[in-house]
Amino acid sequence: MSLRGSCLCGGIRYEIDGPLGRVVNCHCSMCRKATGAAFRTRAAVASASFHWRAGAELLARYPSSPGEVRTFCRVCGATLVTLFRDRPDELGLALGTLDDDPGVRASAHIFVESKAPWLEIDDDLPRFAAGDADDAEGGAPESPDTREVADVTTFMRFTVRQR
């Protein structure tokens, strides 16, 4: 199964040729700020199955916490994948940018202790105050560490290839 996705302006397109991992709704303040939404639904994706198809030059990066870099389109601002220095074989995909139905559904709410006060969660999914053992993404906001980001930049050069 191949899944296609794109940013709001369509300048950046990507394709995933493998299964998606766990899907969660992340309520942490960084995800809320980055998306402007109540929470960010994201899936774990194997880096090897993720391919940029167009617009990799439009990809901007923001180191939201040490070892973690969020990417977005520099034209339209759409948030795309998150990169992890310590887990380079995995990406965190903002599910809202998919153009196809991935078939998978959110399995939990995480970082609920940071959720927006104006949001009432009204489903029966498990809720975690913070992340849980399976989550690479999230955590308390910390000041970006440029020393660590250099490593992620290297990873980006390796990973971001159009074909």
Here the tokens at position 155 are 């990873």
Least distance to Zn ion from the beta carbon of 9, Å? 3
Least distance to Zn ion from the beta carbon of 125, Å? 16
Q: Is the CB of residue 21 less than 8 Å from the CB of residue 43? A: yes
Least distance to Zn ion from the beta carbon of 80, Å? 9
Q: Which is nearer to Zn ion, 9 or 38 (CB)?
A: 9
The sign one gets for the Cα dihedral 151, 155, 157, 160 is negative
Q: How far apart are CA 3 and CA 98, in angstroms?
A: 7
Least distance to Zn ion from the beta carbon of 158, Å? 23
Q: Which is nearer to Zn ion, 7 or 69 (CB)?
A: 7
Binding stretches for Zn ion (CB under 5 A): 7, 9, 11, 26, 28, 31, 73, 75-76, 138
Least distance to Zn ion from the beta carbon of 118, Å? 18
Q: How far apart are CA 93 and CA 144, in angstroms?
A: 21
Strands of the sheet with 3-6, listed across from one edge: 3-6, 13-16, 50-54
The residues, ordered by sequence, that sit 6+ positions from 133 with a Cβ below 8 Å of its Cβ are none
Which residue shows structure tokens 């948030």?
79
Length of the chain: 163
Q: Which is nearer to Zn ion, 86 or 150 (CB)?
A: 86
Q: Is the CB of residue 86 less than 8 Å from the CB of residue 67? A: yes
Q: Which is nearer to Zn ion, 133 or 150 (CB)?
A: 133
Q: Which is nearer to Zn ion, 1 or 140 (CB)?
A: 140
